[in-house]
Every structure is written in structure tokens, then in C-alpha cells.
Structure 1
């Protein structure tokens, strides 16, 4: 039986996912380089910005999808990969140019062929209207198919 990814193999797979062109172009990075499963973050800048000077939904979706993959990663063997086949996201608020966004995901359930993930995105800082620290700006559900490689 194949062993689950761990140690350098897990880190290598996480780094490969982070190096994909879209997250790389957006500037997505691990929240904790020593623990890539913690989540990802990026600054609202460059191609991640809309004409209204807010985070582009596509940039946010790319970061959320990556965080979802990282949540599934420790359940994979070296012969498996997880690909998104369904994602549902609700955008609750905007992040503005220059603000940082943090994205966290948690594995809800994993079967032999599917993984179900919950993901949330938060704007760093204090919301001036509500006083809430790191307000949530989006949440979603991701279903990943487990496929052989």
C-alpha cells in the first residue's frame, strides 16, 4: 500500500502547487513557509485588482482553490493527485488595493475518490465599520476528485 505524503515529499508537492503560473502571478504565498498547510495569502495588487481598486474575484478564487488543495494534500499518496471538480464561493465583502488577504481551508471529509473542503478568506486588519478583526470576505465549498498520477 502506498504511503501518505509527508515531510519533504509533502513540502515539494505544496511548493509545486504554489509555483503554478496563476497563483505565482497573483503573488500568493504560504502564510507560514515552514507549514504550507496553514493557508495562503496575497496582497491586493497588480493583476489581482479590479477597476474599482478591490480584489478581483478570480484572484481570490485562485487563492481559495490553492488553499483547498493544501488541505487535501496530507491525505494523498505519492500516486494520487486532487483536482477540483466543483467549487462554490460566496463573496461577502471586498478587500482594497494594498490590503492583505489570508485564505484558510479545512478538510471536511475524504473518501477513496472525493474530498470535501471548506474554505474562508479574510481581510487582514480591523474593519473600520464593525471593529471586527480580520473580517471574512468570502467562504466556499470545494469538491476535489482524487485521481491517479
Structure 2
């Protein structure tokens, strides 16, 4: 059995994901630095704003995908990675400038080459979006 990502290797992979320029420019942070799989958060401001006082859907989509990746990390071996190849998102409510948006993902099913994930975004204790993602598992990194 392949060695799963844990400890320092898991933290390093999560940090690498947060350093992607788009995530970094949105100000995405881990909900729990000691448990990267818990998800991410960001504040609706700057690039995350649509210019009309609300969250831009593209910014939200970026962090939905990030949260799915973070949720999957503990299921990956040290030699695997994953990329999204399908995403379906429902935008169900708005978040306004200044709101803290929290995004949590969960692995619904993992096979050898695919992972199916669900992600929920909330702001002010309201659900603002849900997404279903399919990620392809890539072999040795």
C-alpha cells in the first residue's frame, strides 16, 4: 500500500495549493492550519468582489475547487496528485463585501483514478453555494 499524505507532507502540499497565485490573490486561508482537509476561508474584498458590493462567482468557484483539493489530500499517496475534470456549481445566495466565506469539502468516493467530492460554501451561517467535483488522480508526481 502506498504511503498516504500525512503530517509535514500534507501540510506542505496544502501550503503549495494556497500559494497558487489566484488563491493567494484572493486571500484564501486554511480554516484549521493543523487540519488542512477542513477547508478554506476568504473575505469578499478586492478580486473576490464583483464591483457591485457582492462576491464574484469566479472567485467563489476558485475557492470551491481549492476546498475540494484540500479535502482530497489525506486520500492521496505521496506520489499522487489530482486535477479537476468536472465541476457543477449551484449558486444559491449572495455574499456581500466584507463577508467571511468558509468553504468545506468532503470526499464522497475515491477510486484508483477518480475522486468524487462535495463542497459547501457558507457566509454568515448561510449556505451560498454547493458544488460537485470529479477529480482525476494522477500517478507518480
The bucket for the TM-score relative to the shorter chain is over 0.9
Question: Residues 107-126 of structure 1 correspond to what in structure 2 (within 5 A)?
Answer: 107-124=107-124
Partner of 1:135: 126
Secondary structure of the equivalent of 2:109? strand
1:55 aligns with 2:46: no
Structure 2 counterparts to residues 67-86 of structure 1, below 5 A: 67-86=67-86
Q: Structure 2 length normalisation: TM-score? A: 0.97
Secondary structure of the residue aligned to 1:47 is: helix
Cα RMSD, aligned residues only: 0.8
Instruction: Name the structure 1 match of 2:100.
Output: 100
Question: Any conservation in 1 of the 2:36–2:71 contact (CA below 8 Å)?
Answer: no
- The answer to whether the 8 A contact 2:103-2:120 is kept is yes
Q: Which moved more, 1:2-11 or 1:104-113?
A: 2-11
Larger radius of gyration: 1
* Contact persistence 2:39–2:67 (CA under 8 A): yes
What's the counterpart of residue 144 of structure 1? 135
Runs of at least 5 residues in structure 2 that lack an aligned partner in the other structure: none
After TM superposition, give the deviation of residue 51 of structure 1 in Å. Answer: 2.4
Scaled by the length of structure 1, the TM-score of the pair is 0.91
